[in-house]
Amino acid sequence: MELCLKKGHSYIYSALIKYGYSNFTLEIIEYCDKIKVIEREQFYIDLLCPKYNLLRVAGSRLGTKHSDDTREKMSSSQKGHPGSLNHPRAKKIRVTDLETNSSTCYDSVNSAAKALNCGDSSILKNIKSKTNKAYKGRYVFELL
């Protein structure tokens, strides 16, 4: 099996080049149901403390650092996005916090996402799901 990687600044890329592909293995350590994948990944992150797994929370991008160039490209791609504050059709949104039993209105999904420290796509996905399930077991969204 031939492995092909693009040059980048990742630790795993550098290690593969420095130590050679033959000094690494890829193993499946457990099969599990789809609904348990994040839970089991977190278990193994905690247990094994993998050197090349930079993110310490399974299923989260928390801790990811993007280059200035990448951040600029991401920003440009979102300009005019319907969830952003500067979009002419930005949707106002009410966020109800079930823990504090309080509601806050935001001028856009993007500004609500920033306040909740999550992505606007997470909020939009929750709204579109129609399951009436509170986001993170805590927040209920309502487009105004």
In which band, very low, low, confident or very high, does the pLDDT at 2 lie, cut at 50, 70 and 90?
very low
Specify whether 88 is located in the same domain as 133.
yes
Same domain, 44 and 85: no
With respect to residue 4, please indicate whether it lies within any of the assigned structural domains: no
Q: How many domains does the chain have?
A: 2
Query: In terms of residue numbers, what domain contains 30?
Result: 11-48
User: Does 68 map to a domain?
Assistant: no
Please tell me the pTM assigned to this model. Answer: 0.43
Pick the closest to residue 23 from 44, 60, 55, 51 (CA basis). 51
What is the pLDDT at residue 80?
60
The token duo for 47 is 């247990």
Looking up residue 124, the CATH number of its domain turns out to be 1.10.10
Q: What is the pLDDT of residues 88-109, one digit of tens each?
A: 667 789 999 999 999 999 988 8
Q: Give a yes or no: residue 22 inside a domain.
A: yes
Residue 73 resides in a domain: no
Of residues 102 and 6, more confidently modeled: 102
What is the rounded CA–CA span in Å between residue 65 and residue 68?
A: 9
Residue 2, domain member (yes or no) = no
pLDDT value, residue 144: 85
